[in-house]
Amino acid sequence: MIARETLYRGFSPIYTVSPSLVQWRNEPEITREIFERGHAAVLLPYDPVRDEVVLIEQLRIAAVDTSNSPRLLEMVAGMIETGESVEERVPPRSAGRGRRGGRALQAGAELSGQPGGTSERLSIMVGEVDAGTAEGIHGPAEEHEDIRVHVVGREQAYRWVEGAIDNAASVITCCGWRCTMNR
């Protein structure tokens, strides 16, 4: 790394980097901005008894210009705090969304969210839930969240990936899970 400079310190810091890269063309040094999101845990809550999936709907302000609605259908997710494991993050995020205490979480993929501009890594998991208890409006007041719970059949969730669910983490999670279920 040649240089690193912080441009903004706040909820999501932004900094520039000028990396020393092996380049295939003889070009000058480059500078790029990185949006520091932190890392996130993504949970696909599945009820194998009822064959249902618990999805959430919440306001995502950046989607106001890019989606049919800024209220997006998503998997349950949460930012992983410094020193916290994925397994520690998932149960609190799924509270009230049908989480069965003590049930196994199945690890899925670990991947970069948007490596072209953010440092975020996603840890994807499938967790067993009781979809019959998943309902209501949730979210910590201090985070100003207004999260609505949806319970749908597994096949409906698959269909929603073809348009109703339009965010990368949820589409990747659902498609990966579908491949696993079809083995």
User: Which residues belong to the active site?
Assistant: 143
Give the integer Cα–Cα distance in Å for 132 and 163: 26
Q: Is 162 annotated as a binding residue?
A: no
Give the span between the Cα atoms of 161 and 173, in whole angstroms. Answer: 10
Say how many residues make up the chain: 183
Helices (H), 38-167: 86-94, 154-160
Residue 41 annotated as binding?
no
**Pairwise CA distance, residues 181 & 145, whole Å:** 32
* Binding-site residue ranges: 77, 145
* Binding-site residue ranges for Mg(2+): 77, 145
